[in-house]
Amino acid sequence: MEEHATHQHSDYDGDHRHPPARKPREAYAHIPGWGADLDHKNRPAYPMERTPPRLENVHWTHPENQPVNVKVYHSTERPGLTPVFGTSTPPTGVSGKVRDVAYKLSENDIRHWLLLLLADRINVVEGIGQDLMQGHVPNVFAEMGVRAEYEHNPAGLARKVLIASAVIGAGYYLLKRNRQKRYGSPPQLRAQQAELDFD
């Protein structure tokens, strides 16, 4: 019987009976940051489970529910509210009404997310209006980060300005054209007005 020549190779061939040999730590020392968490002192979450456990002798099996003093939204997929929730910014105004509609829809419905995005944009305008009513003129450009973007990403800022200008210009052009179709051009309007005055 002819013996087959055996050859050694370091690559793992997928055989669970012969797992690859572990390389020494020094073999990975050239990788920046490798092994940063080997020392358990550098891992504040270690160990995740402790004996004895962190919560001993607690008097409840389920935490007491936070009282509901403001409107709190929750997904239609959830049977009720979580025990704890935020109350710092309750829904108000038009943005709140839009959120009311959004949370009647399931989270797998794209309209749910689009309505929430719309509500956020409306809420920005509402916030500016509230500032003005309180006598505070908001620095919209600074709050939008225009100065920081000008310093760190001028090309991106220029692109945004060009796109916004194009959209505004196209909107103005379409409105003007629609008005001319409906009422006529300014010279035609003046001629019609002259005829009415003459009559």
Q: What is the DSSP string of the chain?
A: -PPPPP----S--S-TTSPPPPPPGGGGTTSTTTTTT-SGGG-TT-SSS-SS-SS-S-S-SSPPPPP--S-----TTSSS--SS---SS---HHHHHHHHHHTTS-TTSHHHHHHHHHHHHHHHHHHHHHHHHTT----HHHHTTHHHHHHH-HHHHHHHHHHHHHHHHHHHHHHHHHHHHHH--HHHHHHHHHHHHH-
At 50, the pLDDT band (50, 70, 90 cuts) reads low
Note whether residue 21 is domain-resident: no
Residues 145 and 166 in one domain: yes
Residue 7 or residue 196, greater confidence: 196
How far apart, in whole angstroms, are the C-alpha atoms of residue 199 and residue 193?
A: 10
- As for how many domains the chain has, the answer is 2
At 8, the pLDDT band (50, 70, 90 cuts) reads very low
Residues 129 and 150 in one domain: no
Residues 159 and 131 in one domain: no
Domain range for 120: 90-138
Note whether residue 15 is domain-resident: no
Q: Write the pLDDT tens digit of every residue in 136-150.
A: 888 877 877 888 888
At 48, the pLDDT band (50, 70, 90 cuts) reads confident
pLDDT for residue 80: 82
Residues 150 and 182 in one domain: yes
**Assigned token pair, 36:** 């940063």
Note whether residue 52 is domain-resident: no
50-59, 154-163, 186-195: which is most confident:
154-163
What residues contact residue 192 under an 8 Å CB cut-off, 6+ apart?
Answer: 184
Residues 123 and 149 in one domain: no
20-24, 110-114, 151-155: which is most confident:
110-114
Residues 134 and 144 in one domain: no
- Using only the alpha carbons of the chain, give its radius of gyration: 33
Residues 128 and 171 in one domain: no
